[in-house]
A and B are shown apart, each in its own frame.
Chain A
Amino acid sequence: MTFRTYNDVAGEDRSRLAEQVGAQRARVAARLHSVRRVVAVLSGKGGVGKSYVAARIARAAAAVSRVGVLDADLRSPTVARLLGAKGPVRLTEDALEPAVTADGIRVMSTDLLLAEGAPLRWREPATERFVWRGAMETGALREFLGDVGWGDLDLLLVDLPPGADGATDLVALVPELAGAVVVTIPSEEARRSVARTMRAASEAGIPLLGVVENMAGYRCGDCGAVGPLFSGDAGAVLAGEFSLPLLARIPFVPDSASASPEDGVDAIVRACLGREVGA
């Protein structure tokens, strides 16, 4: 038996699913039209301080530009709290208005939506969630991008969950993604994990802007001296392997008040804003 297949039949596809998905993408694009650059902060490994680095970039960038932070780590949101963002958030006619921090940073995170201490829970389906979880999470990320009133921004930082999936999902929703800052710690274990994510991000067409080595030593809160913390030089190795700048080596500090501009965060900000590193 021979018969015509989908593309042979020129008539209307009543379900319009592709059209609806296209409309979703268009809604994201329209919302981000007023955002000059969208930059992801990614890592292959949890616990490297990615959200801490994202928060420091946001704070430093907010001193010279208009900044938003989207916490794409839906299941383990932390950056909103690090920035001091608080709810409730307000739903207007066409957008959910983000929280605004004292620094003027516009923030959206599941941390602002969930009850205190509650995990991310989906109402439905009650069973076989593994089948739909990815689609549901991407749907939430899509609305965080397209339905939040980001307004005019120079930079929208997207704090991704560990691993490559978040980055590839993001670039599917935001093809004009300006790039990603990669965060690692010095250890060899981190290097191996982060390298895999960098490869996946590169294969997805995401420009890598540079590497940040976090917890590169320990800065004493009293005397300011930096001593060893982890062995290894993953930041420099990854930067060399992928021909990227090592944007900063940030030491661990006992409290954020001990953070220093000399940590190199300005170089990360310049990379995020699309300005020459070192300019």
Chain B
Amino acid sequence: MKFLCLDCDEQMGFEERQEPGDGTFAAAFRCPSCGRGVAMLANPMETQLVGSLGVKIGGSTLDGDAMEFVRDAVVTGDTAIEAGAGGPARVRPRWSAEGEARLARVPGFVRGMVKRIYAEWASERGIPEITPAVMDQARSDLGLEGM
């Protein structure tokens, strides 16, 4: 997707992305000539539609872990997959009951994507349990407050 400033006939430059944690996605662009800014605001269904392709909105520079999509998306048996030597070092955080209750307020068809955002943030920091406080910290850390 590209954004074109009609007044200047210039492609607008990407400025920042935001995932406010409610399943929506936002990205800001600005015209390099006149400075006019626009925000693309994707609704939860549009956001999920892209996410279901197993791609990351806004681009990805890192290879995903093996079977990342299946492990995130499929309800697997508790003991179906075991960690082998050299397996992903990052822990898979569990959700506290309060965290899950808060997550349940997110529209169902995008909850998985929202859950992944928090889980990845916690996983990268070795946080074993996602609580509302952790979710608040993640929002703050990711610059999503006020969204």
Q: Which of A's residues lie within 8 Å of B, judged by CB?
A: 1, 3-4, 6, 9, 11, 13-17, 19-21, 23-24, 27, 87-97, 110, 112-116, 118, 120-128, 131-132, 135-136, 139-140, 142-144, 147-148
A23 to B63, CA, bound (A): 9
From B65-73, B127-135, B138-146, the one touching the partner chain is B65-73
Q: How far is the CB of B120 from chain A (nearest CB, A)?
A: 15
What chain B residues lie within 8 Å of A19 (beta carbons)?
Answer: 59
Check B6 against A110 for contact (C-beta < 8 Å): no
A14 and B77 form a contact (CB under 8 A): no
User: B residues bordering A, Cβ < 8 Å?
Assistant: 1-2, 4, 6, 9, 11, 14, 27, 45, 48-50, 52-60, 63, 66-70, 72-88, 108-113, 115
A147 neighbours in B (Cβ, 8 Å): 66-68, 70
List the B residue with the shortest CB-CB distance to A120.
B74
CA distance A120 to B74 in the complex (A): 7
Contact A94 B81 (CB under 8 A): no
Contact yes or no, B55 A20, CB < 8 A: yes
- A88 to B70, Cβ gap below 8 A? no
Q: Please measure, in the bound complex, the distance between the C-alpha atom of A23 and the C-alpha atom of B115, giving whole angstroms.
A: 24
Whether B77 contacts A118 by the Cβ 8 Å rule is: yes
Cα A213 to Cα B65 in complex, Å, equals: 41
Expressed in whole angstroms, the minimum distance between the Cβ of A258 and any Cβ of chain B is: 33
Partner of A123, one of B6, B72, B83: B72
Residues on A with beta carbons closer than 8 Å to the beta carbon of B72: 123
Contacting pair B52 A90 (CB below 8 A)? no
CB within 8 Å for A13 and B87 given contacts A124-B111, A143-B69: no
CB-CB nearest in chain B for A97: B84
Q: Which residue on chain B has the smallest CB distance to residue A10? A: B11
The contact of B79 among A4, A23, A88, A139, by CB within 8 Å, is: A88
Are B109 and A143 touching (Cβ within 8 A)? no
Contacts of A127 in B (CB 8 A): 108-109
